Amino acid sequence: RILTWEIAQGLQNTPESSLQYANDNALLLAKSLRGTLLALFYGSTLLSALTSGGLVLLGIQLKSEKN
């Protein structure tokens, strides 16, 4: 109980300008992570497509060697 009271008091005593600074930093971090995650997902999609294509080509090659 005492810890939550102290945290609440600390939040009330925090100046608006520092909260705006924290919000700006959080927004910048979110934008950075968004770009990183988009690049990661697009890269993963491309790698998956290349792997699928490679497996299809390998299957065709193995089928032609069998005949």
What are the tens digits of pLDDT across the range 14-42?
677 777 777 888 888 888 888 888 888 99
What are the tens digits of pLDDT across the range 57-67?
999 999 998 87
Residue spans per domain, the chain: 2-66
Amino acid at 9: Q
The pLDDT of residue 12 is 72
3-state secondary structure the chain: CHHHHHHHHHHHCCCHHHHHHHHHHHHHHHHHHHHHHHHHHHHHHHHHHHHHHHHHHHHHHHHHHHC
Q: What is the mean pLDDT of residues 1-14?
A: 72
- Quick check: pTM over 0.85? no
